Amino acid sequence: MVAGLIHSCTIQKRFQKQELTYTAATGTPVIGQTVTGGTSLATGIIDQLFKGYLVVKTVTGTFTPGENITIGKTLVSPGPPPVYTTTWTATLGTQTGYTNSQGAKEYYWKDNQTGIPCRFYSPGKSPVVLNMQTGTFVPKPLYAMFDASVTLTEVEYRIVTTSVGFTGTYNLDPVIPRSTMTGIDHYETALKREPNP
């Protein structure tokens, strides 16, 4: 463990939203509800609704083609056999990565590594640096240091912290491994605050 990691954060990983096609639907799904696979027990939170398919995020597991998918499954009678009520049910067609009408993949963020020791800092003694193009002083970028045991890349991960003075969500650019004679000692990265996580 690298000494001086006096702050903490959560590292989040990026995942592609999933498109669930369906047939034979009854009821009305609502954005924010959880859809569950009857066989796979996979779940996802509805992010967008379209005719014949749902877009879900925060997915756990993998849905099985042909299985019954439901929203609002509630046990009415333990049976046997058990009797349930649902607010929406359908037969699942496929689960694929979602691409919007402009052809772009859409993503969501999910906690991947929590309670990670880190250190936030601004390099050098001065908190500002001279912008040579404008001739004005601007704040230096914030940096973070992590132990070599964490998993980080620029695009696939970001960090969230509530450490005093640094609270926020940050994108990473770039992630630089720092090595010693025995291998990677730690990682350093410049941070860019994400205004709307």
DSSP assignment of the chain: --TT--EEEEEEEEEE-EEEEEEEEEE---TTPEEEETTT--EEEEEEEETTEEEEEEEES---TT-EEEES-EEEE--SSPEEE-SEEEEEEEEEE-B-TTS-B-EEEEEEEEEEEEEEE-SSS-SEEEETTTTEEEEPPEEEEEETTS---TTTEEEEE--TTT-EEEEEEEEEEEEETTEEEEEEEEEEE-S--
Domain boundaries, the chain: 7-13+111-193, 18-105
Q: Give the model's pLDDT for residue 62.
A: 96
Q: CATH topology for 7-13+111-193?
A: Thrombin, subunit H (2.40.10)
- The mean pLDDT value of the chain amounts to 90
pLDDT tens-digit series, residues 94-117: 999 999 999 999 999 999 999 999
pLDDT band at 194 (very low <50, low <70, confident <90, very high): confident
If one compares 139 and 71, the residue with the highest pLDDT of the two is: 71
Percent of all residues in the chain with a pLDDT value above 90, rounded to a whole number: 72
pLDDT tens-digit series, residues 138-151: 677 889 999 999 99
Query: Would you say residue 161 has pLDDT above 90?
Result: yes
